[in-house]
Structure 1
Amino acid sequence: MRQPATAVALACAILAASVIAVWRGPSIAPGAPTAPDTPGGILGPDVLDVADFGLGEILEGDGPPLERFAPDAFPAAPEPVGVDDIPAPAGGPVDFRRYPTPDEVVAFTDQLAAARPDLVEVFEIGRSWQDRPVRAIRVANEALGDPLDRRPAMVIDAQHHARELISGQVALYNLWWLVHFYGTDPLVTHLLDTRVVYIVPIVNPDGAAIALADYQAIRKTANPTCCDDDGDGRYDEDATSGYGYGTDDVTVYTFDQAWADAHPDNPFQGDWRSHLLKQPERAGRFTGALGGPRQRIAPRDQDGDGRSEEDQRGGTDPNRNYDWFWDQGVADLRSDAFRGPAVWSEPEVVAMRDFLAEIETLATSVSYHSGIDLILYPWAYSTSAELPDAPMYELLTRKGSQLTEVNGFDGSIRTWIARGLYGAAGSSVDYIYGHLGAFAMAPETYGGSSLTRIERLGTTGVFSAGQSTAFGFNPRQEDILASTDRWNRFSLYLLAATPNVELNGLAVDGDDVVVTLGNDGVLPVTLAATVSLAGGGEREAVTAEPLHAGQVALRFARADLAPTGNRLRVVATLAVGTRPHTVESAEWTFSLLQDGTVRLDAGRVRPWVDLSVPFGGWWAGDAWNAEKYRCPPGRTCPPQIFATPPVTPNPAVPTLTPFPSATPTPASDPPTATPDGRAVGRAFLPALHAPGR
């Protein structure tokens, strides 16, 4: 995070004067030990010690808000570097240089759909408690390739949790990138020609609107009937207002003069606590954290009971409301991780459930969050349940650590959720992996300091420190692109890894017709190919082992086939350990000509392409298995998952030599049908760096 500015402006003096007027608390001699009878110790009752709370309590919100901790409690995120040339739209409702409202996101997606109706279709999959649309955007080239409902699918969602603004920006940037670079970037073009992507940029639009305008720390939905927080028989009648993004909570600290003079810009360094002369005291909430006028935000007692903000809006944690061990979730309605009054109680979550159920070919899923920098994968509900695909998760997320070491950030740490972060029953990632059988991940895209600004009163030892939950969970607006670009790389990698099967070649070889099939994604599929026979019936060939990013040649006796009207049907089944299911099906028809060749009558032949090239290979090397990439800070390092990358192309079944992606060619003698000439021949991503740079 950028160093907060030091100011002696009139506004600062007015603020400090107002604070000093209400100052109270015992004096403490510089360097003196904390007196046993000092309430709250040297930091006093208004500033808490982060060591007294668990990581889960802080991130989930069961602990105090970030503003209540010392200014140095949370490490600053790295200063972004080398980000000046990151592409972004210019102007418009979403430009990735500020956090848009849900209405602006609707306008942005409408604009994309209007500009590229050939690629983009917008669906309203549900309505929120406050009647906002929950939208899904489908991105694919429908005119080229198989019907969309038979293509492998990936789902990207974000902002289950209201205050995690950057997560929605990551999903929107994924969307914009795919649409903007289709037709000019070979990787993007190939992916949208062969796969279908669904993006839900804001699962919780009510919460998003509240976080921006009224209460930046809100995590939950705006369920108006679930939660009487203060037990007075009324709901949400005393909620925070006016404390949205761009405001902060200010605390005043008084240091001895020598320390203040030695650290005029930032006194919160080293053993700063020993230089306090008074216990810190909160001055209240103020506007102006992003610049502009500073005005105090007065707390309001809206129900006249003598208390303020004791009955917040909503709500239910939507990422604890899915039907995956929901009954083991948090039942305390005052908790920010409250599971809800019933499973599927939230319309936003029901919208996601019904939407996901319609995607029969769902292969991969990414649900973006924020609050810390981690790549998370199942299980969230258990530290000990069997994880059938643990090696594949390890390999994919290890590559994620490599891809996210960019723009000044270290590579993101990867971990099994319950082992490396906290336990969470009823989560979307567990539901999608466990119930729907798709490879699902939930990256936490950003975590930083809650500190917004430090201001000194003239040349005195009095400093005011502003803090904000929103700044701890989200980068400053000028740094949004550094994070969206970083995680776009991971999204593209997972989309490329999503299995996709093509007919790479169809030719006569002696007495056989040779069908060459290729999976250009690295996630494993088993293939079942059936060919109609001249005398009726079908003949089936099934791959013996899952196919990763490679080809297989299947042979059918030419004598069994008819001169015309032969139908080839291929079904690809995702080789996932929870629920194997069809992720792609395709059909072709062909004829056998008298000159001994084969003619493709329906469907197309595409050359096999190596999609690993833009990412520097499918897998990260051993250097990315260092503890810094798999051990979350402040936690016991989870048990290491050992994984050996599958050889690509897979040698367990008969395969043909893969062709270099720079000059892809058909896998056999050229078929009569002309293959689609699009190729993936250049690296989209900048050169990858060595770990730990």
Structure 2
Amino acid sequence: MRIPLPPPLRPARGRRPRTAALLTLVVALALTLTLGAQATAAPGGSRPGAGSGAEDTRTYEVRGVSSAAQRSALALQGGVAIDAVHDHSVTITADRATVRRLERLGYLLEELPAGNPAAADGAAALSTPSAYHSYSQTMAAVNSLVSRYPDLMSSRVIGTSYEGRSIVAVKISDNVRTDENEPEILFTHNMHAREHLTTEMALYLLNEFATQYGRDARLTQLLNTREVWVIPSVNPDGKVYDQDSGVFRNWRKNRQPNSGSRYIGTDINRNFAYHWGCCGGSSGSTSSATYRGSGPESAPETRVVTNFVRGRVVGGRQQIRAHIDFHSYSELILWPYGYTYNDTAPGLDADARNAYATVGRQMAASNGYRPQQSSDLYVTDGSINDWMWGSQGIWSYTFEMYPRSSSGGGFYPPGSVIDRETARNREAVLILMDHADCMYDAIGKPALCAS
């Protein structure tokens, strides 16, 4: 089917088990320390103004933050969202009020330059909005590929955003019009508005599947025995807001108003209905970049994804076996759980954890990312990875794409790196597709797939 272009807008883990009490104590103690803070997203705002009452924002390095407990403690300060993690510091984007509050608490912040003349790897210049496909251009590219490869690709509108834009899923399979009894793999992109490189990743995958089917033997075999789904933009309203004015606005959340508040938006990746708001890994403040919403699945975009995934249960069995949620930046491969530091937890036993880690490390060996459990960075709750695994039994990873640090352009790397950095994940994607029929094969326990 042809996807409609956008309508007019409506007005406006650590390695040691920890009990909950111990985690609370660790976080409380960490709050009293003089720490360096990690990168945070602006509380509802953007440098040119977010239309939500937020102040002007800047990017900062917070020094002296080294452990997951310290990073989690920092994230509790007004719902600070961490942009990037380094060995002994983090990068955040914050408004002046947040900066003053963190400094009063003893955090050491250094403002980073507003823009770098060149990326760390020598790329010519930082990106402009036009370097990336807009939402409209993305939909046009999807329409074009589906039209050119109708025997391999189909697309459907699986729901709409708050402002009424289509959220699209593209199916890729050798028998695309038939719902075959084959393992399904889902790739989701652009959950956070400003992470435009992830939409480019979606378009790269669609183009690669289309053009290399029948040419690349390995890819062809995988598409003959798998069904693939690609959602290029989970957050189209946020993408349009961040990009289409011609100036990046550093926007993270969706564009849903919050009742009784001047602040707009919910962090979709804190809005999923698995341990939602449980563990200090999200914020209850509407001004926060990690605002978890008024309730689980309160964001329409979250419901679109979860309803689609639930709809893939056929005969009582979830057909989607594996999933990657693409984000940027930091060059990481993450797996569940995010809500607890423990390596294992209810629903995630040692075998499952080992399978996650083994496949994660295989993928990381192919793209140079760092593999780790999500909570090794800091605690998050209500995330898509935890929901996919804990609720649906889907093997779910997050890829944090290029760059490794803000010096490479942060959320807006040069357009000149798009081709290189999307192709960089080709092998990792094929590795996951290959394992999707039985992830336990990776640890030599295929019998567990029958249980």
Q: Does TM-score exceed 0.5, indicating one fold?
A: yes
Contact 2:363 2:432 in 1 (8 A): no
CA distance in 2, matches of 1:49, 1:193: 47
Q: Report the residue type matching 1:496 in the other structure.
A: D
Aligned to 2:62: 50
Contact 1:374 1:414 in 2 (8 A): yes
- TM-score, with structure 2 as normaliser: 0.69
- Bigger CA radius of gyration: 1
Instruction: Give CA-to-partner distance per residue, 1:27-66, whole Å, 9 cap, x none.
Output: xxxxxxxxxxxxxxxxxx9995532775854525975169
1:473 aligns to what SS in structure 2? coil
Aligned to 2:3: none
Aligned to 2:50: none
Contact 2:60 2:92 in 1 (8 A): no
Instruction: Give CA-to-partner distance per residue, 1:99-130, whole Å, 9 cap, x none.
Output: 01111111111111111110111010110111
1:64 aligns to what SS in structure 2? strand
Instruction: Give CA-to-partner distance per residue, 1:284-318, whole Å, 9 cap, x none.
Output: xxxxxxxxxxxxxxxxxxxxxxxxxxx5xx20000
Partner residue of 1:112 out of 145, 170, 176: 145
Question: Does 1:64 pair with 2:17?
Answer: no
**1:379 Cα offset (Å):** 0.6
Partner residue of 2:159 out of 105, 126, 132: 126
Contact 2:119 2:414 in 1 (8 A): no
2:204 aligns to what SS in structure 1? helix
Aligned to 1:301: none
Aligned to 1:297: none
Q: Report the residue type matching 1:494 in the other structure.
A: L
Partner residue of 1:333 out of 286, 289, 303: 286
Q: Report the residue type matching 1:377 in the other structure.
A: W
CA spacing shift, 1:46–1:490, aligned 2, 3 Å:
closer
Question: Does 1:418 pair with 2:375?
Answer: yes
Contact 1:62 1:337 in 2 (8 A): no
Counterparts of 1:31-46 in structure 2, within 5 Å, are none
CA spacing shift, 1:97–1:223, aligned 2, 3 Å:
closer
Which one has the bigger helix percentage?
2
Partner residue of 1:472 out of 410, 418, 428: 410
CA distance in 2, matches of 1:217, 1:52: 25
CA spacing shift, 1:344–1:143, aligned 2, 3 Å:
closer
Indicate the structure whose relative CO is greater, using CA pairs within 8 Å and at least 6 residues apart: 2
- TM-score, with structure 1 as normaliser: 0.46
CA distance in 1, matches of 2:255, 2:435: 36
Q: What is the root-mean-square deviation in Å for CA atoms of aligned residues?
A: 3.3
Contact 2:364 2:428 in 1 (8 A): no
Aligned to 1:169: 200
Partner residue of 1:156 out of 187, 199, 214: 187
Aligned to 1:547: 446
Q: Report the residue type matching 2:196 in the other structure.
A: L
**1:394 Cα offset (Å):** 1.4
Aligned to 1:349: 302
CA spacing shift, 1:522–1:49, aligned 2, 3 Å:
closer
CA spacing shift, 1:46–1:354, aligned 2, 3 Å:
closer
**1:474 Cα offset (Å):** 3.5
Unaligned 5+ runs, structure 1: 1-44, 81-95, 230-310, 405-410, 453-470, 500-520, 526-544, 549-572, 581-693
**1:438 Cα offset (Å):** 1.2
CA spacing shift, 1:49–1:358, aligned 2, 3 Å:
closer
Contact 2:59 2:93 in 1 (8 A): no
CA spacing shift, 1:47–1:181, aligned 2, 3 Å:
closer
Unaligned 5+ runs, structure 2: 1-56, 66-70, 84-90, 100-108, 124-128, 314-318
1:156 aligns to what SS in structure 2? strand
1:338 aligns to what SS in structure 2? coil
Contact 2:355 2:439 in 1 (8 A): no
2:446 aligns to what SS in structure 1? coil
Q: Report the residue type matching 1:70 in the other structure.
A: L
Instruction: Give CA-to-partner distance per residue, 1:570-591, whole Å, 9 cap, x none.
Output: xxx845xxxx6xxxxxxxxxxx
Aligned to 2:394: 438
Counterparts of 1:605-620 in structure 2, within 5 Å, are none
CA distance in 2, matches of 1:176, 1:227: 44
Instruction: Give CA-to-partner distance per residue, 1:657-685, whole Å, 9 cap, x none.
Output: xxxxxxxxxxxxxxxxxxxxxxxxxxxxx
**1:166 Cα offset (Å):** 0.8
Aligned to 1:390: 353
**1:148 Cα offset (Å):** 2.5
Instruction: Write out the 4+ residue segments of structure 1 that deviate beyond 2 Å after TM superposition.
Output: 45-50, 52-63, 65-68, 70-80, 213-216, 224-227, 447-452, 521-525, 545-548
CA spacing shift, 1:68–1:167, aligned 2, 3 Å:
farther
Partner residue of 1:198 out of 229, 233, 255: 229
Percent same amino acid among aligned pairs?
Answer: 26
